[in-house]
């Protein structure tokens, strides 16, 4: 994104990170008459105004003044010189801003409506705050122009200064300005951008039930329910892999992994977001990886497709791919048309149809997300923090018990006959034998307690459902 300014007869060229890179007419410093003697300026006595300007310039860099002097050079407009640290920038952000930066660092790109759904009471308020964050340089905004006119909704990514703040918070090496600017340019032209926005739209629709502003307005501040874990594809790929020996490994690449909690039920799930651009053979080919991994120990597999026709074709393809056998884990499908995701609760509503080896291509009954079988670890909530928002129920990837669960062979399903035809009346989703989490507290697995963070005071424990 390039902005231009023409205040003193020359222009500043501003990069995608919002920092001035060079002046189009040369140096941004003060000009001097070409006819003046070269030694005249050095010999002249500085005026009182010049001395004050230099003193103000030096002091302003040290105190991180939020209102920079109007006497500074053009390279300092917008705050300070490019490359200079600004220790006060982090403290000009509120917790909501910090959560947003952490989400952008994890999930790459969010639209205005998605951000408004998870953090604000209205789109207008979100736009006003995002405009201020753009002026600070912590977020980067871009749009797509359509051939027939008009533009897309504004998309937001982590700006260069925002990336530096996140790196400082996590004690990591900050990105190089040039390389990070190039990454933002690639993001705007990324072939998978629409797919990523679709995945994020799914999770943001769930996170909207966990909106802190709405909970505060309803007098339910501090309530932990709804979406309590949201992992990106990158984080999933780094964790959900299994070495099988002889140079073979199984690595899951879901579009996301989440945990949904409602009315005492906890459903963990892998998401496959289908846009119809891949063949059904390639989509069902992913089942081999899920079958070779202890998927049932971590959650159910959700397929979100774009149309009812695609869902019917997918369910038929699943039956052909598995040959009528049991995959060893729970599968549910849903469509994103108005009749299903158009429900007031979105993907949390009654939109999911269970798939079984004996089920037909159509869905006779749909369930709420919370009504799906409970699978995976049950983790005591950690305190909410701003460096990993929407992860109150996330488990520790470095936990040894987690690794043991991954690399330990899983038993075959105890009762394959437990699957019931769709024609039957499924009054309750108990055909998968959900485990009562409170049945036997002596067998509860407790994860090792890490040193307490300033914003995380309670230890966590992990329990496993059958």
User: What's the CA gap between 100 and 200, in Å, rounded?
Assistant: 13
| Cβ 92 vs Cβ 66: under 8 Å | yes
**What is the per-residue pLDDT for 412?**
53
Beta-carbon contacts of 134 under 8 Å, excluding residues fewer than 6 positions away, are 18, 140, 141, 159
- Concatenate the DSSP letters of all residues of 236-270 into one string: HHHHSEEEEETTEEEE---SEEEEEEETTEEEEEE
**What is the per-residue pLDDT for 134?**
97
Token digits for 164?
Answer: 């530096």
User: What's the CA gap between 143 and 220, in Å, rounded?
Assistant: 36
Strand, helix or coil for residue 94: coil
User: Pairing relation of β-strands 377-379 and 353-355?
Assistant: unpaired
**What is the per-residue pLDDT for 89?**
92
User: What's the CA gap between 246 and 343, in Å, rounded?
Assistant: 48
pTM of the model: 0.74
User: Pairing relation of β-strands 241-245 and 265-273?
Assistant: unpaired
**What is the per-residue pLDDT for 105?**
97
Q: What is the pLDDT along the chain (466 residues), one digit of tens a residue?
A: 444 444 444 333 333 444 333 333 333 444 333 334 444 444 444 444 444 444 444 443 333 333 443 444 444 444 555 556 677 899 999 999 999 999 999 999 999 999 999 999 999 999 999 999 999 999 999 999 888 889 999 999 999 999 999 999 999 999 999 999 999 999 999 999 999 999 999 999 999 998 999 999 988 887 888 999 999 999 999 999 987 766 778 999 999 999 999 999 999 999 999 999 999 999 999 999 999 999 999 999 999 999 999 999 999 999 999 988 899 999 999 999 866 566 678 999 999 999 998 887 889 899 999 999 999 888 888 877 888 899 999 988 888 888 888 887 655 544 433 333 444 434 334 444 444 444 344 434 444 433 334 443 444 444 444 3
Buried b (16+ CB within 10 A) or exposed e, 305-319: bbeeebbbbbbebbb
**What is the per-residue pLDDT for 14?**
36
**How many CA atoms lie within 13 Å of 420's alpha carbon, on the beta-carbon side?**
14
**What is the per-residue pLDDT for 65?**
37
**What is the per-residue pLDDT for 85?**
65
**What is the per-residue pLDDT for 244?**
75
User: What's the CA gap between 234 and 250, in Å, rounded?
Assistant: 15
Strand, helix or coil for residue 28: coil
**What is the per-residue pLDDT for 84?**
62
Beta-carbon contacts of 442 under 8 Å, excluding residues fewer than 6 positions away, are none
Say which residue the tokens 């009346």 belong to.
Answer: 425
User: What's the CA gap between 91 and 76, in Å, rounded?
Assistant: 20
Which parts of 297-444 fold into alpha helices (H)?
A: 308-322, 400-407
């Amino acid at each position: 994104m390039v902005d231009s300014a023409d205040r003193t007869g020359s222009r500043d060229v501003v990069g995608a990170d919002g920092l001035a890179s060079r002046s189009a007419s040369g140096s941004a410093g003060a000009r001097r008459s070409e006819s003046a003697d070269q030694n005249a300026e050095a010999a002249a006595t500085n005026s009182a105004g010049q001395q004050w300007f230099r003193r103000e310039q030096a002091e302003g860099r040290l105190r991180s003044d939020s209102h920079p002097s109007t006497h500074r050079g053009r390279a300092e407009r917008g705050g300070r010189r490019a490359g200079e640290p600004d220790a006060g920038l982090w403290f000009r952000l509120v917790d909501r801003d910090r959560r947003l930066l952490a989400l952008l660092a994890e999930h790459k790109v969010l639209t205005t409506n998605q951000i408004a759904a998870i953090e604000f009471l209205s789109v207008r308020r979100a736009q006003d705050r995002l405009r201020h964050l753009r002026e600070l340089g912590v977020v980067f905004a871009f749009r797509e122009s359509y051939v027939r006119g008009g533009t897309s909704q504004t998309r937001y990514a982590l700006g260069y200064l925002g990336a530096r703040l996140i790196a400082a918070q996590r004690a990591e090496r900050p990105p190089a300005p040039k390389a990070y600017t190039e990454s933002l340019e690639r993001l705007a032209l990324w072939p998978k951008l629409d797919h990523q926005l679709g995945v994020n739209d799914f999770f943001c629709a769930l996170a909207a039930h966990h909106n802190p502003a709405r909970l505060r307005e309803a007098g339910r501040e501090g309530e932990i329910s709804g979406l309590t874990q949201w992992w990106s594809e990158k984080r999933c790929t780094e964790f959900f892999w299994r070495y099988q020996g002889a140079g073979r490994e199984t690595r899951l690449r879901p579009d996301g992994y989440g945990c949904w909690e409602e009315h005492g039920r906890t459903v963990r799930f892998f998401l496959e977001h289908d846009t119809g651009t891949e063949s059904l053979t390639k989509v069902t080919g992913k089942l081999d990886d899920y079958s070779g991994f202890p998927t049932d120990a971590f959650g159910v597999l959700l397929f979100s497709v774009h149309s009812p026709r695609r869902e019917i074709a997918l369910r038929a393809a699943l039956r052909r791919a598995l040959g009528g056998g049991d995959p060893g884990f729970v599968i549910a499908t849903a469509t994103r048309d108005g009749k299903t995701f158009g429900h007031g609760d979105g993907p949390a509503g009654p939109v999911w149809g269970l798939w079984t080896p004996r089920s037909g291509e159509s869905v006779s009954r749909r369930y709420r997300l919370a009504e799906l079988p409970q699978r995976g670890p049950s983790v005591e909530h950690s305190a909410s923090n701003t460096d990993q928002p929407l992860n109150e129920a996330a488990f520790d990837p470095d936990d040894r018990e987690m690794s043991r669960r991954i690399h330990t062979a899983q038993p075959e399903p105890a009762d394959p006959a437990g699957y019931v035809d769709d024609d039957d009346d499924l009054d309750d989703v108990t055909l998968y034998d959900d485990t009562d989490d409170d049945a036997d507290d002596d067998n509860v697995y407790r994860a090792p307690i890490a040193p307490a963070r300033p914003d995380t005071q309670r230890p966590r424990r992990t329990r496993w459902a059958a």
